[in-house]
A = this chain, B = another copy of it.
Amino acid sequence: MRYELHYWPTIQGRGEFIRLALEEAGADYVDVGNGSEEDGLGMPVMETYLNGEATPFPPFALPFLKAGDLIVSHVANILQFLGPRLGLAPEDEALRLWAHGLQLTLADLVTEAHDIHHPIGSSLYYEDQKTEAKRRAEGFIKERIPKFLDYFEHVLEDNPKGDRYLVGDSLSYVDLSLFQIVSGLRYALPKAMQRIEADMPKVVDLVSRVAQRPNIKAYLASDRRLPFSENGIFRHYPELDEV
């Protein structure tokens, strides 16, 4: 099965959570958004799905995954779908529901991480909401990042199968997503994260182990791994970081 990932070109964004799962599993996939129009890829083909021309089931937004005739939208939905197919989800129903719940919690954190630079509206420039962004970032750093990361620290600590993975005793897509979020937060808010991470040894250890997995390590070193930037979710605006 050759999977098609449909997502904006040039940024990691929400597509990165899907890329990491596909790369870890060594899956066959096409990154449609970053492909060229000459090859029948790129924005034009994605547009035909978003505008309903190519399907009666148009996604509201990117990313979406195409797997044969199936179209799956939203990161958590895509990962829930891919997980069992890529060997990145537990077998047990209770644990699958648990993994999906954790992923949806991470999705909320991603939205909050985005909204620190766009608290008033996504269609406005950052420059037009800088004052509000500063205020929102303060609460995010002071209350929200610690609350979320402390939760995942406890999930690891209380995992009946040991503290190496978030779900069960082997790697799942949730571990990969936590890796991506911690990496993004480190890029966006390095000072705040340095302080906060000191209290989260199990999260930090998991993130390090994910980065060292052979397929992930090779991916991160490749040019398929797009850089973090100020066009993505995690943006480094030094004025939003703590002093």
Binds B, one of A132-140, A169-177, A204-212: A132-140
| A interface majority secondary structure | helix
Asked if B56 and A81 sit within 8 Å, CB to CB, the answer is no
Are B81 and A97 touching (Cβ within 8 A)? yes
Number of copies: 2
Binds B, one of A17-25, A31-39, A113-121, A184-192: A113-121
The one of B77, B98, B132 in contact with A97, judged by C-beta atoms closer than 8 angstroms, is B77
Please, which residues of chain B bring their CB within 8 A of the CB of A104? 73-74, 76-77
Point out the residues of chain B lying under 8 angstroms from A105, CB to CB.
Answer: 60-61, 73-74
Q: Which residues of A contact B (CB under 8 A)?
A: 52, 56-61, 64, 69-74, 76-77, 80-81, 93-94, 97-98, 100-101, 104-105, 108, 111, 115, 119-121, 123-124, 132, 135-136, 139-140, 143, 148, 151, 154-155, 158-160
11 contacts between A and B (CB under 8 A): A58-B154, A58-B158, A60-B105, A70-B97, A73-B101, A76-B104, A77-B97, A119-B136, A120-B136, A121-B136, A123-B139
